[in-house]
Amino acid sequence: MNILDDLKLQYKTGGMVQKLIFWNIGFFLFSLVFFYSFSVGKFQIPTWIALSSDLGTFIRTPWTLITFNFFHGGFLHLIFNLMVLHFSGRLFNTYFTDKQLFGVYVLGGIFSGITFVISYIFIGKAGLLVGASGAIMAILIATATYAPFMLLRIPLIGIVKLWHVAFVILLVDLIQMPLDNTGGHLAHLGGALFGFIYIKLLQSGTDITKPFSALLDGFANLLKPKKKTPFKKVHRNTTKNGVNSFQENKDVTQKQIDDILDKISKSGYDSLTKEEKEFLFKAGK
Tell me how many degrees the CA angle 204-20-160 measures, rounded to the nearest 5. Answer: 60
Alpha carbon distance 188, 179 (integer Å): 15
Tens digit of each residue's pLDDT (9 = 90 or more) over 52-73: 988 889 999 999 999 999 999 8
Average pLDDT of the residues of the chain: 83
pLDDT confidence bin for 113, thresholds 50/70/90: very high
Q: Does residue 283 register a pLDDT over 90?
A: no
pLDDT at position 193: 96
- Say yes or no to pLDDT of 157 above 90: no
pLDDT tens digits for range 1-25: 577 777 777 777 778 999 999 999 9
**pLDDT above 70 as % of the chain:** 81
pLDDT tens digits, residue range 28-54?
A: 999 998 988 887 788 888 999 999 988
Per-residue model confidence (pLDDT) at position 40: 77
pLDDT at 214 (0 to 100)? 76
- pLDDT per residue over 206-232, tens digit each? 999 988 777 767 766 665 666 555 545
Distances (CA, A) of 87 to 81, 105, 136, 162: 10, 14, 10, 11
Three-class SS state of 36? strand
